[in-house]
Amino acid sequence: TAATMAALCVLVEKNRHLKELDISANNLPVRQLLDFMRVIGKDRKLTHLDLSWNSLMRPEETIVTKLSDEAQQEIDRTMQLIKEK
pLDDT at 7: 92
pLDDT interval class at 74 (50, 70, 90): confident
| Angstrom distances, CA of residue 84 to CA of 38, 55, 69, 78 | 16, 25, 23, 10
> Whole-prediction pTM value?
0.59
Model pLDDT for residues 17-67, shown as the tens digit of each residue: 888 999 888 877 777 788 888 888 886 688 888 888 876 665 544 344 455
